[in-house]
Amino acid sequence: MNRQPRTLLTLLLIAAIGGTAYLLWRDLKAPPEGAATRVADAAPTRGGRLTVTMRAEPRSFNRIVSGAALTDVYTHLAHGRLVRINRATQALEPWLAESWETAADGRRFTLRLREGLTWSDGAPFSADDVMFSARAAFDEQAGSVIAASLRVDGQPLVFSAPDARTVVVEFPAPFGPGLRLLDLLPILPRHKLEAALDAGTFAQAWTPATPPADLVGMGPFQVTRYEPGQRLVLGRNPRYWRKAEDGTPLPYLDEVILEIVPDQSAELLRLQAGTSDMPQQALRPEDIATLQPLADQGKVSLIELGVTPDPDVFFFNLRERYWAKDGRRDWIRRTELRQALSHAVDREAMAESLFLGAAVPIWGPVTPGNREWFSPNVPRYPHDVERARTLLAGIGLENRDADEWLEDAAGNEARFTLLTFRTSQIMERQAGVLRDAARAVGIAIDVVPIEPNALIDRMLRGDFESILFNYASSDLDPALSKDFWLSSGAAHIWNMSQAKPATPWEAEIDTLMRQQSAATDPAERRRLFADVQRIFGEQVPALYFVAPRLYMGVSGRTINTTPSVLRPQLLWAADTLAVTP
CATH number for the domain harbouring residue 265: 3.40.190.10
Residue 574 maps to a domain: yes
Report whether 448 contacts 419 (CB < 8 A).
yes
User: 563 and 470, same structural domain?
Assistant: no
CA-CA distance, 559 to 301, in Å (whole number)? 9
Number of domains in the chain: 3
Closest CA to 57 of 547, 452, 335: 452
Residue-range definition of the domain harbouring residue 139:
56-204
Residues 23 and 89 grouped into a single domain: no
- Comparing CA positions, the residue from 491, 487, 518 lying closest to residue 504 is 487
Residue 1, domain member (yes or no): no
Summarize pLDDT for 196-249 with one digit per residue, the tens: 999 999 999 999 999 999 999 999 999 999 999 999 999 999 999 999 999 999
Per-residue pLDDT at 42 exceeds 90: no
Asked, for residue 572, whether it belongs to a domain, the answer is: yes
- Are 293 and 227 part of one and the same domain? yes
Q: Where is pLDDT greater, at 32 or 409?
A: 409
**d(C-alpha 287, C-alpha 280), whole Å:** 14
Same domain assignment for residues 162 and 268: no
State pTM to two decimals.
0.80
326-375 tens-digit pLDDT: 667 889 999 999 999 999 999 999 999 999 999 999 999 999 999 999 99
Measured N-to-C along each axis, helices 425-440 and 347-355 cross at an angle, to the nearest 10 degrees, of 150
Based on the fold, state whether residues 41 and 70 are members of the same structural domain. no
Are residues 452 and 532 both part of a single domain?
yes
CATH number at residue 457: 3.10.105.10
Measured over the CA atoms of residue 116, residue 118, residue 122 and residue 126, the dihedral's sign is negative
Same domain, 460 and 538: yes
Give yes or no: residues 180 and 126 share one domain.
yes
What is the signed CA dihedral for 373, 376, 377, 378, rounded to 10 degrees? 80
- Looking at the structure, tell me whether residues 184 and 48 fall in a common domain: no
Is residue 2 included in any domain, yes or no? no
- The pLDDT assigned to 4 comes to 29
CB 250, CB 77: distance < 8 Å: no
How far is it, in rounded angstroms, from Cα 255 to Cα 252? 9
Q: Does residue 213 sit within a domain? A: no
pLDDT at 35: 34
Q: Does some domain include residue 3?
A: no
Map residue 510 onto helix, strand or coil.
helix
Cβ atoms of 304 and 35 within 8 Å: the answer is: yes
Quick one: which of 364, 369, 319 has its CA closest to 342? Answer: 364
pLDDT in tens, 179-200: 999 999 999 999 999 999 999 9
446, 537: one domain: yes
Beta bridge partners of 313: 469
Same domain, 465 and 325: yes
Interatomic CA distance for residues 6 and 292, integer angstroms:
7
In angstroms, rounded to a whole number, what is the distance separating the alpha carbons of residues 113 and 126? 8
Q: pLDDT higher for 131 or 11?
A: 131
Same domain flag for 42 and 61: no
The amino acid present at 22, given as its one-letter code, is Y
User: Which of 281-290, 351-360, 511-520, 533-542 is modeled with the greatest confidence?
Assistant: 533-542
The domain boundary, picked from 204, 233, 263, lies at 204
Counting every residue, how long is the chain? 581
